Amino acid sequence: MTAARDAEGQPAAPAPRLPAKLAAHPSVQAVLARRRAGDAVHPPSVIDAAWLRELCLAAGADDAAAVSLDHPDLAGEREHAQSALPGTRTLIAMAFRMNRDNCRSPARSVANQEFHQTDEQANHAARSVTQALQDAGHRALNPSVGFPQEMDRFPSERIWVVAHKTVAVAAGLGVMGLHRNVIHPKFGSFVLLATVLVDAEVSAYGQALDYNPCIDCKLCVAACPVGAISKDGAFDALACTTHNYREFMSGFTDWAQTVADSEDAADYRSRVTDSESASMWQSLSSPPGYKSGYCLAVCPAGEDVLDPYLDDRKTFMDTVLRPLQDKKETLYVLPGSHAQEYARRRFPHKPVKEVTGGWHPPAKRAAPPDRETRTA
């Protein structure tokens, strides 16, 4: 008697021994019948790299590469990846281009729409790739490109499932710039990133770039309104998040504390301007807005981005950098911080406002005057 074989000519797995009631179920019988007919999905043990890249590009990515979870630069990601998808073997990094002039606009509504639209594109593409891998018989998972994140871990642990930037750099999609954004060799800083986890190896992995696309122009240093980026490579993450993420989790906490700490509407309005209230409302009803992102906006790196900067650096700075520097806008800083001193000295025309950043409760305030005095 010849042993049963599957569609690839391999010996078929013996039928599982099942309880009679389970074995009689129509769904179980259908699955077992497919196995006997050789129609069951048997995923390849190694995913073809060319097929995977074409899958990612067809889904909407502008570049893609895979990296093994065993890559030495991903040591810090292994525990998190395995927790999210037990059996993860490979991480698939994808890059998505943004429209440059939208990101550069002093009108932050334009820039923020570009960020969030590209976020949606990346999430949809990553989901599509994940579904195709699943249909091929693999276990795969796509964490969110940005939010939502694991807020039950905040603030004692990291809230992101996978570090997209770390994965992209290891896969060869770019290098981390002075501004802490990944610079793609072709598209520059104007990319957002997505990652897909899969339980199989890939026939060829991406290789880290052997050069840095950053041209060391230091425009990101000049553009940052709170001095978070230093010429020597130092980065003040707290200054960046306090201002740029003012209407995300920490800034919302600070605003909520202000509401709770206010005695009445008049007291609240003495602490929060009408435009700040309207902006917070907009971020609660729409995707939250970034206050800056100027470091990305002014970056001229990348083969597709460099031409205007090379042709006329003065015009580039006059049309890209200066409008952001000259814009009158409120800068949010922690009291007594370097960011506060920097903002007041470097951008005296931009109002500076002290906030707690939501990182700790506000200091107790002195008892307010009576209502009649405050509302007179």
pLDDT score, position 9: 53
Cβ atoms of 220 and 324 within 8 Å: the answer is no
Terminal C-alpha separation, the chain = 101
In this structure, the answer to whether residues 113 and 167 fall within a common structural domain is: yes
* Residues forming a β-bridge with 122: none
- The whole-angstrom separation of Cα 149 and Cα 160 is 6
* Residue 56 and residue 179 in one domain: yes
How far apart, in whole angstroms, are the C-alpha atoms of residue 18 and residue 312?
75
Q: Are residues 116 and 226 in the same domain?
A: no
Same-domain check for residues 101 and 241: no
227 and 163 within one domain: no
334 and 226 in one domain?
yes
pLDDT at residue 151 in the model = 85
Q: Is the pLDDT of residue 82 over 90?
A: yes
pLDDT digits (tens, 9 = 90+) for 2-30: 444 444 555 556 778 999 999 999 999 99
Q: Determine, yes or no, domain membership for 34.
A: no
Do 227 and 113 share a structural domain?
no
Q: Do you know the residue count of the chain?
A: 376
In-domain check, residue 161: yes
pLDDT at 4: 46
CATH, residue 93: 3.40.109
Q: Please give the pLDDT value at position 12.
A: 58
Does one domain contain both 77 and 156? yes
| Residue 371, pLDDT score | 45
Residues 224 and 195 in one domain: no
Q: What is the pLDDT of residues 251-280, one digit of tens each?
A: 898 899 999 999 999 999 999 999 999 999
The answer as to whether 91 is a domain residue is: yes
- Residues 171, 256, single domain; the answer is no
pLDDT per residue as tens digits for the range 304-315: 999 999 999 999
Give the residue-averaged pLDDT of 111-121. 96
Give every CB contact of residue 306 below 8 A, 6+ residues apart in sequence. 188, 215, 300
Q: Residue 43: its pLDDT value, please?
A: 85
Look at residue 184 and tell me if it is in a domain.
yes
What distances in angstroms separate CA 312 from CA 316, 331, 370, one per listed residue?
6, 30, 60
**Is the same domain home to 55 and 187?**
yes
Domain holding 242, by residue range, is: 219-354
Reported as a single tens digit per residue, the pLDDT across 320-367 is 999 999 999 999 999 999 999 999 999 999 999 999 877 766 666 555
pLDDT band at 249 (very low <50, low <70, confident <90, very high): confident
> 234 and 141, same structural domain?
no
- Residue 104, class by beta-carbon neighbours within 10 Å (0-12 exposed, 13-18 middle, 19+ buried)? buried
**Across 217-227, average pLDDT:** 97
Average pLDDT, the chain: 91
So what's the pLDDT on residue 361? 62
Strands 140-141 and 191-198: antiparallel
Judge whether 317 lies within some domain. yes
> Which parts of 38-175 fold into alpha helices (H)?
49-59, 78-84, 100-104, 108-135, 164-171
Q: Distance between CA atoms of 51 and 47, rounded to whole angstroms? A: 8
Q: pLDDT per residue over 49-81, tens digit each?
A: 999 999 999 999 999 999 999 999 999 999 999
The closest alpha carbon to 179, from 243, 113, 236, belongs to 236
C-alpha–C-alpha distance, residues 133 and 153, integer Å: 29
Tens of pLDDT, residue by residue over 163-211, are 999 999 999 999 999 999 999 999 999 999 999 999 999 999 999 999 9
Provide the whole-model pTM.
0.86
pLDDT the model gives residue 10: 55
Residue 230, CA distances (Å) to 49, 218, 227, 263, 301 in order: 39, 9, 7, 41, 18
152/347: higher pLDDT: 347
Please state the domain count of the chain: 2
Give the model's pLDDT for residue 44: 83
Q: Is the pLDDT of residue 133 over 90?
A: yes
Q: Which two tokens stand for residue 327?
A: 């814009």
Instruction: Using CA atoms of 325, 223, 353, 340 in order, give the dihedral in degrees to the nearest 10.
Output: -120
Work out the percent of the chain whose per-residue pLDDT is above 70.
Answer: 91
- Would residue 33 count as lying in a domain? no
Residue 299 and residue 213 in contact, taking contact as beta carbons nearer than 8 Å: no
